[in-house]
Structure 1
Amino acid sequence: MYHKHLLGIAALTILSGCGGNNEQANTADTQKAATLPNFTGISVSTAPLEKVTNSQFTTHLKNGIFMRYHQPIDTRLEHNNQSDSVNASTSFSTTNQQEQDVHEADRVKYDGNYLYIAANSNNDLVPQIDNPQPHYIRILKRTESGMLESVKDLPTSHTEYSEQNLYLEQNTLVSINSQPGWFSIGGALTIEPLRTQTTSNESFIAQDIPQFEISFADITTPEQANISQQYTIDGALIDSRIIDGTLYIVSNFRPTYSNFDLSNSDTQTQLKNYQALAETDIRHLIPSITRTDTNQTQALFDTNDCYISQSASQVTGYDAIMSITRISLSNPTQHNTVCVNTEIEGIYASKNALYTYSTHYEEKNINSVIHKFKFDTQTFNYVASGTISGHFGQNLKNLRFSEYNDHLRVVTSSGDFLEGFQHKLHVLAQEGTELTSIAELPNQTNTTPIGKINSVSGVVDEDIYAVRFFNDLAYVVTFQQTDPLYVINLTTPAAPYIAGALEVPGYSAYLHPISESLLLGIGQEVEDINSTEPANLTQGAKVSLFDVSDITAPTQLSSKVFPDAYTPAEYNYRALSFLQTQPQLHKFSMPLEKWEQTGIDPKSYQWTKRNQLALFEINTETKALSHIGDSGIKYDAPNIYNLPLIHGNDDRAVLQDDHIYYVHGNYTWYSLWQTPSQNTGPL
C-alpha cells in the first residue's frame, strides 16, 4: 500500500493520454513546505510497484530531482548502460533472435526479394549530393541471377551521432534512430549541467533533451518507399521488440531542471529550491512524443497511468522515468504508454510478457528486482515483481532470462575474482502480484557450485561468460583459464541440478542450440598461462560444436580457431546468420575482424584491417562441423587508406539457398556457397 504521508508536495497535473486529441491541465492549491524532509538519498527500490495518482507520482519524481542536486547520491548504485532458437527450414536467413516470434531490431533486414540496410553517409564510398541526411536506408532488389541492384535510398534521420536499427513487418519498415550510450543514473555525468540560476518559470527544460526517432515506411512497392509517419520521443532508448504486429519501445527519461539557486548550500536556500520545484508544472518534467511530419506534440503518457515503488515515502524519490510504449504497426497513431518512476537497466521479452530488471548494490549485498508486464490483445499491464540476489553480468544480459511453462528462469552472479564468485540459477513463479522463488541452484540438496573451486583459495574464481536456456535445460559457461560448460536440468522446476560438465580450453561467450543434441559455442581460444606445455593453438576467435545428447557427459566434437581474430558475435548474437537447408543440414555465417602487419622493418610496419565472413555447415546426422570457407572484403580502389574506416561490429550476412550476401558498412559483397572467396562487390 502506498504510504499516506507521501503527500508533501502539491503539484500541477496533466491529464493528457498518448494518442488523445485533448490536453487538459488541472491546477491544485500549492501549500509550501515549512521544512525540508530528511531525504534518504536516491536508491533503487526492490519493492513491488503500485499504480498511483498524479499527485503521488509527481511527488516521488520531484523528490528524486531535488535529491539529484542537493543530497548525496547513493554511490553503491552501479549501472551499465531464445528459449527455442532452432530455425525452421526456410529459403533465407532472418535476424538471429533470443525467442521465437519475439522480433528484434537489427541494421539489416531481408524478405527474400529486397534487402534493407541501415546506412550512414559517413561510410559512403562516393558522397551523395542529393541526400544530405546522415542516416538513410539502402534498398536493394535481388535479381533472377541472385545479384543485388540498388533501387532506392530512403533518408530517415538528420541526427549525426546515432545508431539506426530496423524492423521489417509485412509492408511496414520501421527505423529506430537512437543515441548509443548509457541511460541510467550511473552517474551524474549523464545529467545536463545547470545553466541558469534564475527564478523564471520558463527555464526548467534544457534545450538539448536526449531524443530518439521512430520512422514508419510504407514498402508495399519498395522502389517507391516513403516515410509515412515519423515520431521523436524524449529520453534514451533502452530496447525494443515487436510481438504480434505491435512495437514495444522501452525508454528512459530524466528531466533536466535549471531553476535551482546553487549559489550556496544553506538550509534556507535549499528550502526555497524545494518549494520552487514543488510549484513547477509537471508538464515540464515528463517526456513528450512528437509526430514530426505533422509537428504535433503531446505528453508521452497520462500521469495517472504511472507506477512507483510500494515502499515509497515522503523521504524517497527517483529522478528518472521508465516508459513502455506500445505502438500498433497497422496504425502507428494508436499508441499508449505505461510509465514507472524507477530504475531500469534492461529488458527480456517472451511471447507473453515483458520483464524489466535493475540491480541494487549495497555494500556487499547485491539484489536485483524484476518487474513483469503482461501482454494481451489490446493492452499490457504491470502484474508482478520479484527480488533475487546477485546481478546479471556484463554481456548479453537478456540471455540470462527465460520464460518456460509459466516459470521464469534467471541466472545471477555476485562476488569477484579475489573473494570468489557466487553464481545462482533462480526459478520464479508468479503468485498474485509476486514473482516468488520456488528454487535456487546451488541449494542444500545440490550443493555443487556453478564454477570451479580454486584448489588454493577454496573459492569459485570463475566468472560467467555465457548463458543459454533451451526448453528444460540451461547451459552455463564459466571461465578463468579453461571453459567449464555446465548442463543444468530443469525438468522439475522446483529441483534443478547440474547434470554434467565439460572443461575445454578458452571460452564460449555465446551459445546457440542447433538441435536437442548439438550446441554451438562462439568465443575465444585462450592459452593456459599455468600450463608447462607449449600451447598447441594460437589465441583467436573460436567456434565449437558440443554434443549434449547425454547431458551427464557433454563432449566437444570439434572446433575451429581463427588466429588473432575476434568476432562481434561474442557481444551481439545478431551478427550470426543461420539457415537450415535440409532436415539434417544447417548453414551459418560469422563475421571476423583482425589487424595484419606488413613489412620486415618494425619502423616501417603497415597495419591493415581484414574483415571476412566465415561460413560453416553443421550436419546433425554425422554431428560434423565444417568450415566451408570465407568471403572477404575487397575494394577496387587505388588507395585503400582513403576508404572509410568501418569496424566489423555491424557486419551482417543473409544466406539464401546457395547465395551469400555479406554486408559491411553500407555495401554488400555477393558470392556463392560453393566458392565464397570469389565474391562481387561492393554492391
Structure 2
Amino acid sequence: MKKWTVIFIVAAICLTGGTWWIYFSQQEVSAQSHILSDQVFKADFSRSINSDALKNEEVYVTDHYGDKVKPDYKLKNNGKSIEISGLSEGDYTLYVGKRKHTFQVHESIPTVKSRKELEEYFKLVMSTRENIVTEATDEMAMEESSKSDSANHSTTNNQVEGVEEADIVQTNGSHVFMISENNIIINDIENANNMKLESKIQFTDSFYPSQLLLKDETLLVVGQKNIYHTLEARDNESRIEPAWESMTSVFLYDISDPTSPKLIRELASEGYMNGVRLKENVLYIVSTIMPRYWMMKENKDIELRPFTYDSKVNKEAQPLDYKQISILPNSLDGNYTVITTLDISEPIENEAKTKSFLGGSQDLYMSTENLYLTSAIYKEEGANTSRKMVWGPGKLDTVVYKFSLKETTVDFVGTATLQGTILNQFSMDEHDGYFRTVTTTGDLWDERNPSENNLFILDEDMKLVGSITGLAKEERIYSARFMGDKAYMVTFRETDPLFVIDVANPTKPQVLGELKIPGFSNYLHPLGESHLIGFGYETSSVVPVGSKEPIIQTEGIKISLFDVSDFGNPKEVDTEVIGGQGTYSPLVYDHHALFEHSEKNLFGFPVIIYEKKEGQEYSSYKQDGAIIYEITPEKGIVLKADLLNKVNQAQQYEEWGTMIHRLIYSDNSIYTIGMKEMKSYHMDTFKETGVLSY
C-alpha cells in the first residue's frame, strides 16, 4: 500500500502545480532582443500557457540585478504569446519556467556593437525558421501629383508634391533622357520637327538601368549591378556564395554638355532596390538584402554585414561598420534595409551617408518629413513565431517602420504592427503629423478566413489613435488615395465599391459614402478638390459552358470620372472603355505612365488594344500606341487624340521596340517615346511633326 501511496502522491503533484517542471522543460521561447521604451515587448511560445502561470510566477521578468519586476502582462493567441509593457530602459530577462530570454529596453534604437551580437541575432532568426520554406527575397494638404507648369514641360507623376520619384524617362524641356535596354539615350528636342540623337551612355551586361532622376545638370541612373567572381576569388573569399552578387547602383553624370555626359561618381549598396526619392537636393536610396546567415553553420568566417561602395572613397565595395547597423524593434526578419543619402547640390564633394537596419522593407512611402517602410509578417495557424511572408494558410500582418528625414540624416522613430497587408505606396499617407493607411485582412477565397478591409490612423509616435475595420467583406483593396481630410478606397470582387472616408478627426474616422459600379480602378488620380479619375478595367459576368455559376472576368481598360463633391453620395459621372479582354496599359500598374498637362486638362497613357474579331471566342491583338483625353468636371471624358498605330492584319502582337512606353510634353509639342523610336506631335492639332529612330 505504501508503494501505491507514493505513486499517487507523485501523480498528484504532476497534475497540479508541480507540472511546470515537466511542461516548461519542453517550452520554446522566441522573442526580439531589443525594443524601445515606448514599445511593447512580445514573445511567442511553442506551447500555450494560462493566467495561472503568471499568478504562480512561473512566467516573470527580472531586471539587471535579478530582482523581479511587475510590468503589465497580456496573454495573446490563446496563450501562445505574451505582450509586456511598462518597462523602462535597462536589461531584462524573461523566465518561462526554466527557460529564459534576455532582452534590452532602449530609449533610442541602439547600434550593433560587435560581430558576436550579429551572430546571436541571426541564430535567433534561424531558430524561428526551422522547417519553414520562405519566399526568396533576392528577386526582389492635398497630396496631388507634383506639377511644374511654369517649367512648360512634363514632370514625373509623383505621389507627394516636393518628393521626386524616378522613372524610365526624364526631360528638362530641351532634351529627353530615356532608358533603352542597357543604354541611356539623350535626344535633343529643341526643334520638334528635327529631333536629334545627342549622345548615348552605354553600360555593360553587368548593369541594368531601370530608373532615372534629373536635377539641374546632374543625371542619376539607377539600377542593378551584378558583380561576378572568378572561381579563384570565390575560393579565397569565404563570404562569396554564389558566383555573383547584386548591388543597387546609382551612376551620377554631369550633363552640362548633353553631347558628352561625364560620369562623376558611383554609389552602390548590396541588395535589391526598394526605391529612390529626391527631395530638394537630397537623394535617398533604399535597398534590401538577405545575408547568407544560414552558412554560419558551415563557415564561421562568413561576412554578415552588407557591403557598400562609393567611388569617391574606395576602389572596391566594403562592409559597413558595425556602428552603421541597428536592429529594428520587433524584427526577426533577417533582412537588411540599407538607406544611403547624398546631397547632390555638390555631387562630387559631398559625403554619402549610409545606415543599415535589420528589418526588411517591401513597400515604401515618403513624405517631405518622414520615410515609411513596410514588411509583411506571416503567422502560421497555431505556430509559435512570426516571420517573413511565406505561402500557406495563416495570417498576414504588416510592420510599418518610421524614419525621420533631416537633410541627409535618417533616424528611426518608431514602429507599429497592423492587421492585414498594404497594397502599395498609395495605400499610405501622412497628413498633419498622422500616418494613415488601408489594409486587407484574410483571403478572398477562404471561407474560414474571409477578406475584409481596414483603415488605421497612427500619431507621430506610431501609436494607433483611430481605425475602421471590417469594410467590404469578401473583397480586397485594388486602389486607394488620400486627399487631405478624405480617403478614397476601391475594393473589388464582383463590383467596384468606391468608399469615401472622412479622416478629418484622426480618432474618429467614418465612412461617408459608398458607390457600387461594374469594373474596378487600379489607380486613382485627383482632379481638383471634388473629382477623381479612376484608371482600371471594365468587368463582365459570364457563365462558363457547363456551369451554372457566373464568373467575373476583366474586359477593356476603363476610365471613370467620379464626382465626390457630395461625400455621402459619390457618383460616377462619366466612363470610357478602351478595347476588349486582354487590353492593357502600363498605367494600371505604374502611375508614372500617366501623361498630364494640367493647364489644358489633358490626360494620356500608352495602350495595347485587344479585341474579339468576328467568329473568335477570344480577343486578339489589334493595335498599340497612345490615347489622350481631355477630362474636366464640366465636359467629362472627351477623346482628344488617337495616337494609335494603324491596324496591320498581319501583325499578331505588339512590337517592343516601337510600342509607346511614355508620353511627355515640352512647349507646344507632345512626344511619344518607345525603346527604339520617338515621335513628336503638335499640341493643338495632334498632327505628327517628326520621327526619330535610335
Match of 1:2 among 24, 30, 34: 34
Distance change in 2, residues 1:296/1:86 (3 Å) = closer
What SS does the corresponding residue of 1:591 show, helix, strand or coil? strand
Shift of 1:221: 1.9
Q: Which residue of 1 aligns with 2:636?
A: 624
Aligned match of 1:384:
414
Deviation at 1:671, TM superposition (A): 1.3
Are residue 159 (structure 1) and residue 218 (structure 2) matched?
no
Could you say which residue in structure 2 is the equivalent of 1:109?
A: 170
Aligned equivalents of 1:490, 1:77: Cα separation in 2:
37
Matched, 1:307 2:347: no
Identity %: 24
Q: Name the amino acid aligned to 2:145.
A: S
Matched, 1:342 2:378: no
Q: Is the 8 A contact 1:229 1:293 kept in 2?
A: yes
Pick the aligned partner of 2:154 from 83, 87, 93: 93
Match of 2:562 among 532, 540, 546: 546
The separation in 1 between residues aligned to 2:572 and 2:652, in whole angstroms, is 42
Name the Cα RMSD after superposition: 4.0
Which residue number corresponds to residue 19 of structure 1? none
1:399-410 matches, cutoff 5 A: 399-410=426-437
Paired amino acid for 1:361: Y
Q: Deviation at 1:136?
A: 1.6
Shift in CA distance, 243/218, structure 1 to aligned 2, threshold 3 Å: same
Looking at structure 2, the residues matched to 204 and 292 of structure 1 have their Cα atoms a distance apart, in angstroms, of 22
The structure-2 alpha-carbon separation of the partners of 1:79 and 1:513, relative to structure 1 and needing over 3 Å to count, comes to farther
Contact 1:632–1:677 (Cα < 8 Å) also in 2: no
When residues 642 and 493 of structure 1 are mapped into structure 2, their CA distance, relative to the original with a 3 A threshold, is: closer
Residue 569 of structure 1: how far off its partner (Å): 0.7
User: For 1:324-358, what per-residue CA distance to the aligned partner results, in whole angstroms no more than 9, with x for missing partners?
Assistant: 11122122561111111122212111111111111
The CA deviation string for residues 41-94 of structure 1, in whole angstroms up to 9 with x for no partner, is xxxxxx9954332346422454268669x9333659999948233745342221
Q: Match of 2:113, as an amino acid?
A: T
Query: Which residues of structure 1 form unaligned runs of 5+?
Result: 6-37, 41-46, 121-134, 181-191, 261-269, 443-448, 452-459
Deviation at 1:297, TM superposition (A): 2.3
Output aligned runs, 1:110-149, within 5 Å: 110-120=171-181, 135-145=182-192, 147-149=194-196
Cα distance in 1, alignment partners of residues 396 and 313 from structure 2: 47
Q: Which residue of 2 aligns with 1:225?
A: 261
Could you report, residue by residue, the CA deviation over 1:195-229 in whole angstroms, capped at 9, with x for unpaired residues? 99x9x874331230122321111011212222222
* Contact 2:247–2:269, Cα closer than 8 Å, also in 1: yes
Q: Does 1:654 align with 2:664?
A: yes
1:628-678, CA deviations, whole angstroms, 9 ceiling, x for partnerless residues? 12112479x9x9799963496x71110235421011223212112344364
Output the CA distance in 2 between the equivalents of 1:556 and 1:642. Answer: 33
CA deviation profile, 1:519-578 (whole Å, cap 9, x unmatched): 10000111134899x99x992001111111111111111111112222211100000011
AA in 2 matched with 1:507: F
Q: 1:360: Cα distance to partner? A: 1.1
Deviations 1:262-314 (A, max 9, x none): xxxxxxxx6xx4xx52xx26xx33232334699612435321122214457xx
Which of 230, 248, 251 does residue 284 from structure 2 map onto?
A: 248
Q: 1:432-472 CA distances to partner (integer Å, 9 max, x unpaired)?
A: xxx10000013xxxxxx422xxxxxxxx2221111111111
The reply to whether residue 169 of structure 1 matches residue 169 of structure 2 is no
Alpha-carbon distance in 2 for matches of 1:473, 1:220: 43
What is the Cα deviation at residue 119 of structure 1?
Answer: 1.3
2:580 is equivalent to residue 561 of structure 1 = no
Alignment correspondent of 1:446 = none
The within-5 A match list for 1:30-45 is none
Alignment CA distance shift 1:118-1:294 (3 Å): farther
Q: What's the offset of the Cα at 1:156?
A: 3.8
Secondary structure at the aligned position of 2:119 is classed as helix
**One of 371, 378, 384 as aligned partner of 1:361:** 378
Aligned positions of 1:595-606 closer than 5 A: 595=610
Contact 1:596 1:610 in 2 (8 A): no
Listed as ranges, the gaps of 5+ residues in structure 2 are: 1-32, 36-60, 63-98, 102-106, 382-393
CA–CA separation in structure 2 for the residues paired with 1:478 and 1:641: 34
Residues 619, 388 of structure 1: alpha-carbon distance in 2 compared, 3 angstrom cutoff = same
Amino acid at match of 1:481: E
In the aligned structure 2, how far is the partner of 1:487 from the partner of 1:58?
Answer: 46
Do the aligned partners of residues 422 and 259 (structure 1) sit closer, same or farther apart at CA in structure 2, a change above 3 Å counting?
A: closer
The structural deviation recorded for 1:174 is: 0.2
Matches of 1:619 and 1:657, distance apart in 2: 22
TM-score by length of 1: 0.74
Distance 2:523 2:537 in 1: 10
Find the partner of 2:251 among 215, 224, 244. Answer: 215
Aligned mates of 1:324, 1:425 — CA distance in 2? 28
SS of match in other structure, 1:224? coil
Q: 2:471 aligns with which of 429, 440, 450?
A: 450
Instruction: Quote the Cα distance in structure 2 between the aligned partners of 1:479 and 1:100.
Output: 29
Matched with 1:286 is: 305
**In structure 2, the residue corresponding to 1:63 is in which secondary structure?**
helix
Which stretch shifts more, 477-486 or 654-663?
A: 654-663
In 2: Cα distance, 1:305 partner to 1:230 partner = 20
Aligned to 1:203: 238
> Residue 587 of structure 1 aligns to which amino acid in structure 2?
L
User: Does the residue aligned with 1:210 lie in a helix, a strand or coil?
Assistant: strand
Which structure would you say has the larger RCO, counting Cα contacts within 8 Å and 6 or more residues apart? Answer: 1
Q: Secondary structure at the match of 1:94?
A: coil
Q: Summarize the Cα distance change of 1:136–1:39 in structure 2 as closer, same or farther, 3 Å threshold.
A: farther
- Cα offset for 1:421? 1.5
In structure 2, distance between residues paired with 1:596 and 1:469: 35
User: Are 1:482 and 1:507, in contact at CA under 8 Å, matched by a contact in 2?
Assistant: yes
Counterpart of 2:336 in structure 1 is 321
Instruction: Give the match's secondary structure for 2:245.
Output: coil
Closer/same/farther in 2, CA of residues 491 and 597 from structure 1, 3 Å limit: closer
Q: Determine if the alignment matches structure 1 residue 511 to structure 2 residue 516.
A: no
Contact in 2 for aligned 1:255/1:285 (Cα 8 Å): yes
For the pair shown, which has the larger CA radius of gyration, 1 or 2?
2
Q: Is the 8 A contact 1:203 1:259 kept in 2?
A: no
Q: Give the number of the structure whose residues are more often strand, by fraction.
A: 2
Contact 2:437 2:455 in 1 (8 A): yes
- Secondary structure, aligned partner of 2:323: coil
Residue 573 (1) aligns with residue 591 (2): yes
CA 1:136–1:61 in 2, change beyond 3 Å: closer, same or farther?
A: farther
Question: Take 1:86 and 1:346, find their aligned partners in 2: how far apart are those partners?
Answer: 20
